[in-house]
A and B are shown apart, each in its own frame.
Chain A
Amino acid sequence: DIVMTQTPLSLSVTPGQPASISCKSSQSLLYSDGKTYLYWFLQKPGQPPQLLIYEVSNRLSGVSDRLSGSGSGTDFTLKISRVEAEDVGVYYCMQSRQLPRTFGQGTKVEIK
């Protein structure tokens, strides 16, 4: 199975400041079709996860442009340009390059 490793596991951020989450995979997530199957989710307290970004850097409709995804191969990053209260929750990366799909451990983001 592909192992997904997120760092850090928690972040405490002052409103308006940037935040960054790293996600590393144990194998390349680049598939033969040229796509890289790396996703980012946010789980707010008491809610199911919600998809934010697909295939590394594509924001879902309605997702704030303060969020951006980047990376390639095995190294990926989610950046929040200016953290707001609505960004609080646990962020997960997930790969679907290979079954079974696997998630990172989650990064808990809170506001200072």
Chain B
Amino acid sequence: EVQLVESGGGLVQPGGSLRLSCAASGFTFSTYSMNWVRQAPGKGLESVSYISSSSSIINYADSVKGRFTISRDNANNSLYLQMDSLRAEDTAVYYCASTKYWGQGTLVTVSS
């Protein structure tokens, strides 16, 4: 069974940092490009960051460029998102996803 399990979300003050993790199982993680997609409360889906299977191609939404860093560890079937200089507008559920497979999401709340 395919599983993507996110962790690391929580409440953080503006300007703070969080590191999200995603543990993958049930498929050949190392052959899939991966994404972080977020959904603000009551809003639509926004692609935050993309990483190719070998990490050779990385892309960020303009809204997070320079503040977020995506990475992966294929040996450990894991995807990460380092989030720095967090803002209130970063408050959202963050999903770890390939195109076909999605995790349940982890909530990040940026508030003082």
Contacts and interface: CB of A to CB of B under 8 A. Distances in A.
Interface stretch (B11-19, B40-48, B79-87): B40-48
B29 interface: no
Given A92-B44, A92-B45, A106-B45, A51 B60 contact: no
Contact of A100 (B44, B47, B95): B47
A21 to B, nearest CB: 14
Interface residues of B, number: 19
Contacts, number: 45
Contacts of A60: 100
Nearest to B47: A101
B99 A105 contact: no
A102 interface: yes
A48 B102 contact: yes
Interface in B3-59: 35, 44-47, 50, 57, 59
